[in-house]
Chain A
Amino acid sequence: VAGIELPHNHWPELIGSLLSNIHQLPSHVKQATLETLGYLCEEVSSDVVDQDHVNKILTAVVQGMNSSEANNDVRLAATRALYNALGFAQANFTNDMERDYIMRVVCEATLSAEVKIRQAAFECLVSISSTYYEKLAAYIQDIFNITAKAVKEDEEPVALQAIEFWSSICDEEIDILDEYGADFSADSDVPCFYFIKQALPALVPMLLETLLKQEEDQDQDEGAWNLAMAGGTCLGLVARTVGDDIVPLVMPFIEENITKPDWRQREAATYAFGSILEGPSPDKLTPIVNVALNFMLSALMKDPNNHVKDTTAWTLGRIFEFLHGSTIETPIITQANCQQIITVLLQSMKDVPNVAEKACGALYFLAQGYEDVGSVSSPLTPFFHDIVQALLTVTHREDSGESRLRTAAYETLNEVVRCSTDETAPMVMQLLPVIMMELHQTLEGQKLPSDEREKQAELQGLLCGCLQVLIQKVGSSEQTKYVFMQHADQMMGLFLRVFACRSATVHEEAMLAIGALAYATGPDFAKYMQEFYKYLEMGLQNFEEYQVCAITVGVVGDICRALEEKILPYCDGIMTQLLKDLSSNQLHRSVKPPIFSCFGDIALAIGENFEKYLIYAMPMLQGAAELSAHASGADDELSEYTNLLRNGILEAYSGIFQGFKGSPKTQKLMPYAPHVLQFLDSLYLERDMDDMVTKTAIGVLGDLADTLGSNARHLIQQSVSSKDFLNECLLSDDHLIKESAEWASNAIRIVSG
C-alpha cells in the first residue's frame, strides 16, 4: 500500500509512526517494524522519501543491526532492511563519519554467530560494492580479510556471498576499464581503484582453493551453484579485469594438479586454465596453449571422469573462442594438428550429453575462427562431410534433450554452414532437403501431451533456425540458388504449418526464415502472400512477445523489397497494424524505430500509392521527430535509443520522398517539407547525432530536393541544413556520410538550377 501512496504523498505520517515503534518493546514489534521498513525501501523509489526520513530509517536500521542488539531476529530483520535501504543512502555514504559507521556495523554483522545474519551482511557488502564502489578504498583491506575468512571457513551460503563481493568488484572495474579503453579523453565518472590488481596475490590463491570443492554431480544439475562454480566464475572475471598478471599466479596450480589421481584436482586445474583464457593477451597465452593442447585432447578422450572431460571440452572451446581466428597472429590450429583436433571433438560428441554439448561448443568456435578464410578454401573442407554427419547424428540421439545437447548440435551446424566455402557448397545444398524432412516429420506427429509439445516446438524452432541459415547461404550465390528455388514452395509450406504451433520462439524463428526466403525468392514470393498474410498480421499484433513483433516488422521490409508494387493489396492491413503498434503504450519501445523504417520500405515499394497513408503516417513521424530532436540523452541508453528513433524517422522520410519521385502526386508532399527541413535543422543544431543519423539525415535533404524539385527551392535555401550541415558532411572523414552529402549536394544544385 505504501508503495502506491507514498509517491503521491498520501501517507506522510507512515514513516514517522513506523519509526516511533522502533523504540518500543517488545522485540517482535521492533522486528515487524524493521521488516516493514525493509519492504518499503524495496518497493518505493528513493526520490519519494526525504533525506530526513532516510536518516531516521538508516539510524533505526543500523541500531537494529548493532552487535548490542540481543535479539537475533531483530538483528536479521535490520540487516535485510539495510540491504533494501542502501539505495537511499547516497547522501549518507558521502559523509565520512556516517559511512564509517554503516560500514563498521555491516562488517561486524558478518561476524555474527547466526548464519543468516552473516549471509545478509555479506549481501549488504555485495550491494555496497556495486552501488558505492568509489567509497570502498578505506575498507577494502578489512573486507578482504573478512571475505577470505568466510570463503575458507564459513557455511556455503555465506562463502558464496563473500565470493560474489569480489565478482561484483570485477564487474565494476571491467566496466570502468572498458570506458577508459573506449575513449582515453573521456572523464570517467568513477575512477578505477584497481582493487583487484592490488588484491591479486591473495585473491587468486583464495579462489583457486575453492575450485577443489566441487560437488559430485554438479554438471548434471542445471540449477547447481556452489563454491567451486562461484570461485571459477570469479577467477574468470579477475582474469578479464587484470589480464596478463593473472597467468603466473595460476600456472603453478595448474601444473601441480592437472595430473593428480584425484579427479577433483585434475578438474580444478583444467577449470582454472579455462577460466583465465579471456583477458590475458594472446602473446602470453599462446605458448602455454601450444603446450597444453595435446594434453587436453588426450584428457578429453581418456580421462575416466566425466567432470574432467566436461571441463576439458569447455576449455578447448574457450581456447578456440579467444585464441583462434584471423585476428590472432600465431595460429594454434595448424595443418599438423587440425585433423587430430577434429577427430577428438567428433569422438567426444558421442560421450555423455554434458560432455558432448561442450564438444559441440568447441567445434562452433573452431568453425567460427575460419569465417574469414575467403570464399574458396577452408582448412575444414576435408572434414566437412564428417562434421555435418556427426552433428546430425547427435541431433538424433535419444538423450539429446539433456544438457541442451540438441540445441548445441544445431547451433554448431549453423555456424559450420555459415563459415563454409564454395568448395563445400554441394554438401550444404544436400543438407537443405535433409533439414526440411526433419521439420516435416515434427509436423506429422499425432497429438502430443503438453510437455512433449513443448519439446516439439523447441525442435521446430531449431530446425527453422537452421533452415534460415541454409536459405541465406544457398540463396546468396547464383551457383547454388537454383537448388533453393527448387525447394522454396515446399519450404514455405512447412513454415506456414509451423505457425500453427503457439510458441513465441517458433514464430520468431519461422518469421526470420521467411524473411530470408522472401529476400532469396524476390517477386516470386507473391504467390505465398495470400496464405502468409494472416500470420504476418498476427506477428504485427504480438505486443507481448515484442521480439516476434520486431522481427515481423523487419520481414515486412523484406517482402516490400521482394514484391515491390505487388505488395499493394496487403498494405491497408499492414499500415493499419503498424499505426496501431506505434500508438500503443503496451508495445516495447525498441520496436518503434523499425516501424518508422518500415514506412519507408512500404513507400519505396508502392510509390505514389502511399498517398492515402500520408495523413496518418506524417503526423506520427512529425510527433516523433519533435520529441527526438530535443531528447538529447540524459544517459547513454536514452541517447542510443533517441538516435535509433531519429534514424527510423529519417529512413521513413527518405523512402517516402524517393517513392513519390517522378509522380504527379509529388505535390502532396509539399505541405510536409517545412517540417522535415526543420527537423534536419534542429538535429544539426543539437549536435548530438551519431554518424548513422548524420548520414541518413543528409541523405533525406537530397531526397527532398530530388523529389520536390524547384518547388522546394526557397525552403531548402532557407534551411541551415542545406548550407552548414551539408558543408560539414561534404568534408566528413566518414565515407558513407560524404557519399550521402555528395548526393544531397548534387540534388540541391540541380534544384537551384
Chain B
Amino acid sequence: MAPHDIRRPFKRYAISDQQKRREIALQRQAQQRRDSQHHARCLASSVLSLPNENNPEPIPPEPTTEPEPE
C-alpha cells in the first residue's frame, strides 16, 4: 500500500494535437460517409423520379400496387 500518487499536469496546455488530428480524421470520415449515403440516396431518387432521357432502355416502372385500405 504505497502512498497514492497525486501529481497533476503542471503548466501543461490542455490540448493534445495528436488527439486533435484523430478527431479531425474521424469527423472527416463521418462527414464523407454521410455524403456518400446522401449521394447514393440522391441517385436512387433521381432514378426513381426522373424520366431517363439518355437511356434507350426505359427504367422499368415500379410494379403498380393496389391502393391500400386506410
Q: Which residues of B contact A414 (CB under 8 A)?
A: 17, 21
A601 touches B3 (CB 8 A): no
A161 touches B32 (CB 8 A): no
CB of A701 within 8 Å of the partner chain:
no
Closest residue of chain B to A647 (Cβ to Cβ) is B30
Whole-angstrom CA separation of A743 from B38 in the bound complex: 10
Q: Given A311, A519, A706, which contacts B41 in the complex, CB threshold below 8 Å?
A: A706
Q: Given A465, A659, A709, which contacts B62 in the complex, CB threshold below 8 Å?
A: A709
Query: Known contacts A465-B21, A512-B21: does B33 contact A651 (CB below 8 Å)?
Result: yes
B 11-49 to A, binary, CB cutoff 8 A, 1 in contact else 0 = 101110110011011101100110011001100110110
Q: Which residues of A contact B10 (CB under 8 A)?
A: 224-225, 229, 232-233
A 586-614 to B, binary, CB cutoff 8 A, 1 in contact else 0 = 00000000000100110010000000000
Query: Known contacts A551-B25, A709-B63: does B13 contact A600 (CB below 8 Å)?
Result: no
B25 touches A415 (CB 8 A): no
Whole-angstrom CA separation of A751 from B13 in the bound complex: 56
A311 touches B11 (CB 8 A): yes
Q: How far is the CB of B65 from chain A (nearest CB, A)?
A: 4
Whole-angstrom CA separation of A310 from B4 in the bound complex: 29
Question: Which of B15, B25, B45, B48: most chain A CB closer than 10 A?
Answer: B25
B1 touches A80 (CB 8 A): yes
Q: Given B14, B18, B25, B44, which contacts A706 in the complex, CB threshold below 8 Å?
A: B44
B11 touches A310 (CB 8 A): yes
A 148-178 to B, binary, CB cutoff 8 A, 1 in contact else 0 = 0000000001001100100100000000000
Q: Which residues of B contact A229 (CB under 8 A)?
A: 10
Q: How far is the CB of A151 from chain B (nearest CB, A)?
A: 14
A selection of 13 A-B contacts at a CB cut-off of 8 Å is A83-B1, A225-B6, A229-B10, A314-B11, A364-B15, A557-B29, A558-B29, A597-B33, A600-B33, A604-B37, A651-B37, A706-B44, A747-B45
Which listed segment binds B: A35-43, A189-197, A202-210?
A35-43
Closest residue of chain A to B40 (Cβ to Cβ) is A658
A230 touches B8 (CB 8 A): yes
CB of A102 within 8 Å of the partner chain:
no
CB of B55 within 8 Å of the partner chain:
no
B62 touches A753 (CB 8 A): yes
Chain A interface bracket (under 10, 10 to 19, 20 to 34, 35 or more): 35 or more
B29 touches A415 (CB 8 A): no
CB of B51 within 8 Å of the partner chain:
no
CB of B64 within 8 Å of the partner chain:
yes
Q: Given A81, A167, A365, which contacts B13 in the complex, CB threshold below 8 Å?
A: A365
B32 touches A710 (CB 8 A): no
B1 touches A225 (CB 8 A): no
Q: Given B28, B44, B66, which contacts A661 in the complex, CB threshold below 8 Å?
A: B44
B3 touches A119 (CB 8 A): yes
Interface of A is mostly: helix
Q: How far is the CB of A46 from chain B (nearest CB, A)?
A: 17
Q: Which residues of A contact B9 (CB under 8 A)?
A: 233
B1 touches A39 (CB 8 A): yes
Q: Given B32, B40, B47, B62, which contacts A751 in the complex, CB threshold below 8 Å?
A: B62
CB of A394 within 8 Å of the partner chain:
no
Whole-angstrom CA separation of A613 from B37 in the bound complex: 20
The size of the chain B interface, using a CB distance under 8 A, is: 38
Which residues of A55-86 are within 8 A (CB) of B? 80-81, 83-84
Q: Given A35, A310, A465, A519, which contacts B17 in the complex, CB threshold below 8 Å?
A: A465
CB of B58 within 8 Å of the partner chain:
no
A 682-705 to B, binary, CB cutoff 8 A, 1 in contact else 0 = 000000000000000001001100
B37 touches A655 (CB 8 A): yes
CB of A361 within 8 Å of the partner chain:
yes
Q: How far is the CB of A558 from chain B (nearest CB, A)?
A: 6
CB of A726 within 8 Å of the partner chain:
no
Question: Which of B10, B11, B24, B63: most chain A CB closer than 10 A?
Answer: B11
Q: Given B13, B32, B48, B67, which contacts A750 in the complex, CB threshold below 8 Å?
A: B48
Whole-angstrom CA separation of A516 from B65 in the bound complex: 47
Q: How far is the CB of A110 from chain B (nearest CB, A)?
A: 15
A361 touches B22 (CB 8 A): no
Q: Which residues of B contact A597 (CB under 8 A)?
A: 33
CB of A713 within 8 Å of the partner chain:
yes
Q: How far is the CB of B57 from chain A (nearest CB, A)?
A: 13
Q: Which residues of A contact B13 (CB under 8 A)?
A: 317, 321, 361, 364-365
CB of B68 within 8 Å of the partner chain:
yes
Q: Which residues of A contact B1 (CB under 8 A)?
A: 35, 38-39, 42, 80-81, 83-84
Whole-angstrom CA separation of A743 from B33 in the bound complex: 17
Q: Given A123, A655, A702, which contacts B4 in the complex, CB threshold below 8 Å?
A: A123
Whole-angstrom CA separation of A468 from B24 in the bound complex: 11
Q: Which residues of B contact A80 (CB under 8 A)?
A: 1
Q: Given B7, B18, B36, B41, which contacts A743 in the complex, CB threshold below 8 Å?
A: B41
Q: Which residues of A contact B4 (CB under 8 A)?
A: 83, 123, 126-127
CB of A309 within 8 Å of the partner chain:
no
CB of A561 within 8 Å of the partner chain:
yes
Whole-angstrom CA separation of A358 from B26 in the bound complex: 29
Query: Known contacts A557-B29, A717-B68: does B8 contact A750 (CB below 8 Å)?
Result: no
Whole-angstrom CA separation of A728 from B3 in the bound complex: 56
A699 touches B37 (CB 8 A): yes
Closest residue of chain A to B16 (Cβ to Cβ) is A411
Q: Which residues of B contact A557 (CB under 8 A)?
A: 29, 32-33
Q: How far is the CB of A451 from chain B (nearest CB, A)?
A: 22
A753 touches B37 (CB 8 A): no
CB of A662 within 8 Å of the partner chain:
yes
Closest residue of chain B to A739 (Cβ to Cβ) is B38
Closest residue of chain A to B11 (Cβ to Cβ) is A314
Whole-angstrom CA separation of A99 from B22 in the bound complex: 46
CB of A420 within 8 Å of the partner chain:
no
Closest residue of chain A to B8 (Cβ to Cβ) is A233
CB of A393 within 8 Å of the partner chain:
no
Q: How far is the CB of B35 from chain A (nearest CB, A)?
A: 9
Q: Which residues of A contact B45 (CB under 8 A)?
A: 706, 743, 746-747
Which residues of A503-526 are within 8 A (CB) of B? 505, 509, 512, 515-516, 519
Query: Known contacts A361-B13, A651-B33: does B40 contact A661 (CB below 8 Å)?
Result: yes
